[in-house]
Every structure is written in structure tokens, then in C-alpha cells.
Amino acid sequence: MKSNRSIDTSLRERHTILNFLEQLTKENVSADELTEIGTTLRAAGRRALSPLFRRLWREKDGAVISRYTFLLSFFEDDGWLEQLIQLALTRKDLEEPGRLALIHALAGYGVDVSVPPFTQAIGSGGSLRTTLPRLLDRGEDGLIVFMEEFAAYSLEAQKTIVRELSFVDDPRVVDLFGVLLAFDEPDTHREVVETLGRVRFPGAARLLRHYLYEASGNDRLLAERSLRRLGFLGLDTGDEGAERQFPFHSSWASPPDVSGLSCLLVARWSEEEKLDILFMELHETDGLRDAWGWSGLTPEEYGDILRENAVEETLVAVDYGYVAELVGDSLERSHATGFYLPPEFYVRQRIFAGIDLTPRSYIPHFEGIDLDTADDPSLVAGSAALLDDGYFDGWFFFDSRTRLLAEELEQLGDDPFAREDEPAADRFLERWCRREVVPRLERIVRRLLLTADLMVRSGREKRLVAQTLAVAVSLSRGTVAPHRHPFLRRWLLELIGMVRDARAEGYQFPPTPWDDEDGEWD
């Protein structure tokens, strides 16, 4: 008997459409993938439009909404624009990134969103245009708040916000664009350069011309195109020359401490008798961890800050070029981790105007010193005395790794250090070094090299530099067992003594972090 049934392929097609739409909710969807999905869905026609709009009515993430609305451009205009307008006017549950995504989609499809009912009902363009001037009223603090929130958004939301900034009717928005030009997300950075060509204030052209002094490749082409657009609108008055650069007042740096942290301080004249100040905290693997500062201080106020922060006791005066090299190294390390820089650094890094801050690794060079022969046995033998120098004060403080040391001593019960049992104490040190020191030896060596480098930069005695290098080279070569190395042994014995005294006094050690591989001593 002949069957009248035909094979139903609609279920498979529906599953394919839903799978494609679900794929767009993931991060890092490329432009090529979007185009490929749009081309595929276009073939399905209205069968794809219905589930696409169901998603648009439910989705709250601005980046995903941007991708969904982008797909609409692949379909014939068969009523979907009216649906999108109705959706944008009806949804009241969206936060600003979602509202901005909708308003820009409508603007891209030819809808005038600068007039009611969009400015009232959607609140996206109107919201940012209203709230940003109030934020800019707060000066640098407002810029920092903006960057804190901006860095937390997805890439698509960042680009949407940047585009919306061109509609803000406040000349101070140019200052914000100046901060965003330093933002280190490549796609967002390109969006900033391109959007500057639509900012209707003369300061935008001036900002682009200053940017051209350091731009290259595609970024330069984008900047030139934005400048041509502003020139066509009569907003570019021509090259006004390089921006005036004020001299640096002073620069300071600290040696790295036991956890790989160091601090930098830069002070630079900003105008007559006024100083801008920037503190930076660097980490040997994470890069630039924190930044904070002040603007427009008098020399007297700057002196107060130096005293309040004990700068002259904990940092040493260095050349600003050296600080720039260390900052470039920290930027390289920050980019490698995939995290954005501290928001305040974006706002205050103009203090380095005219200075090359290209992210790049910094390797100390010791002119006139042959590192191949630096591990002089006599210098290594006396290296325990290095720990008396103030440059090594940061090797002695209580942290999560010290807590582990305290717990290890607690588990021993019968303390070999208390009863002066040399063999037992030696076994403890050997075991501790094997488990906690040897895996981190490469970082310890780099800390020593950076400390020796700072000694050279600050004019310390040559023998002190030579002895620090001798320790670094001998540890890197493993010529002496770590628990027998004079420098490491004294360091650990003094830490153990500090721990024993603290335990006797009932001191509570800091808790161990959630993942101690990122704890101290690393």
C-alpha cells in the first residue's frame, strides 16, 4: 500500500533556527559568525522572524539585543520595523545598555529617535544625555565613576554607549572621549575614534589631531577619516601644533616586596604652581593593579601627601623615564591577563602625555656587569646581611602565605626551633622550600633583579648591587640548595621567629584566600 506521508523537515529547520539564536547569547561572537547566521536565517524568511522577535521580547542583555537587531537587516522589510518600534516603545524592563541597543538599532534603520515618543518612552538617548552632564559636573570623580561602569559592560554595550555619547549636547563630552581614547579594548577604541567624527564640538577635531601624533596603521586611517568628516562640517580649524607639555616635578619607586608588589609615584606640573599626582600599584604578574591621585595641588599640598604616605621612607627618587619603563611593563602584563586597567588610571594617565607608554616587557640591564660571573661565592656567602638593608623591608610582613607557615609549625606540635633541634629544623626548612619556595623561585629572582636595578637607578653602593645580583644569579642556577642558601635561610628563619612570637601573643593570621595559588609570595 502506498503511503501518502511526506518527510517533515520543518522540525529540523526550527531546531536549527533556535540553535543559531542561542549561539548569539554567547560571548565573543565574531562579525563573520553574525553574517553567516544572518545569511542562513534569511533563507528561512518569516519562519525565523517569529522566534527572533520572541527572543527580543525576553532578552535583557544589551549586547545580545544588538546582535538580534543586527540580524533583522538580512530580512525583507515585511513589517518587522513596525514590530521593532512597538517593542522599543513597550518594553520598560530594560536597563540602559538594553535601551541603548534598541535606540541605536532604530536609528540605524532610519528612524528619527531624537523626537518623542522615543526620547520619553525609551529613555535611552534621553537618559544618557541627561545623566552624563550631571556626572561631568563632578569633574575627575565623575569621569572615574563613568569608567568604572563602562569597563564592566560587554564589548557590544561599550560600543553602543560610545556611539550614544556623540548625541550628548555638552562640550565636556570631549574630555570623556579623551579618556576613552586610552581604553585598551581594540574594537571599542576604534569605535571611539570613528565616533569622534560625529561629535559637534571643535574640541573633537583638536583631540583627533593630537591623537594623530601617536596613531598608526588602521587607527590612523580612521582618525583621518573622522577629521575629514569634521572638516566638511566646518568643525576642524586645522593643525594647532603639539599640545604644550609641562615638565615632571618628581618620580618615586619602591622595590618589590615579598608578594611581588611595588609602588610608583609621579608628580608633574600642570600649570603655574599646580601639580598633578599619580600613585600606581604594580604586581609582577597581574600588572597594574591600582591607581589613585590628585590634580591641581600646590607644592605645599604635595609635600603633605609625601609626609602622610611616608613616601620618602618607603620609596626612592628616580627618573621619570624609568617609571615609564616600569609602567609599560605593567601594561604588557595587564593585557596578558585579559583584564582592563584601573578606571582611575584611564582618567589620570594624561600625566604621561608625550611619553611612550607602549606595553612592552622590561628587562633590567646592568652596564659593566657580567651576569655570567656575578655569583661570586664570597658575595653569596655574606648575602644574609642584605636583609638588613631597607630595600628588603617589604620581605617581612604577615600575609596568607605566612599563615600557611604558621599552620605548618602548629602541626609539628614539638617545635624544633623552640628546642633548637638543628637537624629537625633543617628538615622542616628543606620541606618548606621544596613545596613553597622552589615553585616560586623564578619570581623571587626577578624581584632581586628589579631591586638591584632600583639600587643602580637610585645611586646605591656598587657592592650592594653586586651582592644582590650574586644572590639572584646563584638562585637561578641552583648552585646552593634553597634551604641552605644564606639569603633564603635567614629570611625564612626570621619569618619563623616572627610567626612563633605572634602565635605566643595570640595573633590571628590573615585567612587563606579562596585560591592560594594567587596568594602572596607568588
Among the listed residues 137, 104, 109, the one whose alpha carbon sits nearest the alpha carbon of residue 122: 104
Between CA 291 and CA 144 the distance in angstroms is 11
Phi, psi of 292 (to 5 degrees): -155, 155
C-alpha cell at 272: 603655574
C-alpha cell at 368: 659593566
Classified as helix, coil or strand, 377 is: helix
Phi, psi of 468 (to 5 degrees): -65, -40
Instruction: Tell me the pLDDT band of 14, cut-offs 50, 70 and 90.
Output: low
Average pLDDT over all residues of the chain: 84
Instruction: Tell me the pLDDT band of 501, cut-offs 50, 70 and 90.
Output: confident
The larger pLDDT score, comparing residue 438 to residue 116, is at 438
pLDDT given for residue 4 in this prediction = 40
Burial class, 513, CB count within 10 angstroms (exposed 0-12 / middle 13-18 / buried 19+): middle
CB 399, CB 507: distance < 8 Å: no
Classified as helix, coil or strand, 520 is: coil
pLDDT in tens, 47-65: 788 888 888 888 888 888 8
Instruction: Tell me the pLDDT band of 258, cut-offs 50, 70 and 90.
Output: confident
Residue range 419-443: mean pLDDT, rounded: 87
Which stretch, 127-136, 364-373, 452-461, has highest mean pLDDT?
A: 452-461
Pairing relationship of beta strands 287-297 and 274-283 according to DSSP bridges: antiparallel
pLDDT in tens, 113-130: 665 666 554 444 446 777
The larger pLDDT score, comparing residue 397 to residue 209, is at 209
Residue range 446-474: mean pLDDT, rounded: 96
pLDDT given for residue 397 in this prediction = 75
Among the listed residues 203, 472, 509, the one whose alpha carbon sits nearest the alpha carbon of residue 480: 472
Is the four-CA dihedral 105, 106, 112, 114 of positive or negative sign? negative
Among the listed residues 424, 431, 408, the one whose alpha carbon sits nearest the alpha carbon of residue 499: 408
Pairing relationship of beta strands 261-271 and 316-317 according to DSSP bridges: unpaired
Give DSSP secondary structure letters for 395-455: G----HHHHHHHHHHHHHSS-TTTTT-HHHHHHHHHHHIIIIIGGGHHHHHHHHHHHHHHH
Q: In the chain, count H helices and then E strands.
A: 24, 5
To which H or E segment does residue 250 belong? strand 248-253
Identify the weakest region by mean pLDDT among 31-40, 111-120, 151-160, 512-521.
512-521
Q: How far, in Å, are 369, 377, 463, 482, 506 from residue 479 at the CA level?
A: 20, 10, 21, 9, 39
C-alpha cell at 356: 611612550
Q: Which CB contacts under 8 angstroms, 24+ apart, belong to 38-43?
A: 38/70, 38/71, 38/73, 38/74, 39/74, 40/16, 41/17, 41/71, 41/74, 41/75, 42/74, 42/75
Percentage of the chain surpassing pLDDT 70?
A: 89
pLDDT given for residue 35 in this prediction = 83
- Tell whether the model's pLDDT for residue 174 goes beyond 70: yes
The one-letter code for the residue type at 157 is A
* 3-state SS track over 23-39: HCCCCCCCHHHHHHHHH
pLDDT given for residue 118 in this prediction = 63
The larger pLDDT score, comparing residue 213 to residue 482, is at 482
Instruction: Tell me the pLDDT band of 521, cut-offs 50, 70 and 90.
Output: very low
CB atoms within 10 A of CB 60: 12
pLDDT given for residue 274 in this prediction = 94
Between CA 257 and CA 254 the distance in angstroms is 8
pLDDT given for residue 13 in this prediction = 62
pLDDT in tens, 307-364: 988 888 889 999 999 999 999 999 999 999 888 899 999 999 999 998 989 999 999 9
Between CA 131 and CA 223 the distance in angstroms is 28
Those residues whose C-beta lies under 8 Å from the C-beta of residue 510, and which sit 6 or more positions away, are: 398, 399, 400, 402, 403
The one-letter code for the residue type at 311 is V
Between CA 56 and CA 39 the distance in angstroms is 19
The larger pLDDT score, comparing residue 106 to residue 108, is at 106
Residues linked to residue 277 through DSSP beta bridges, in sequence order: 267, 294
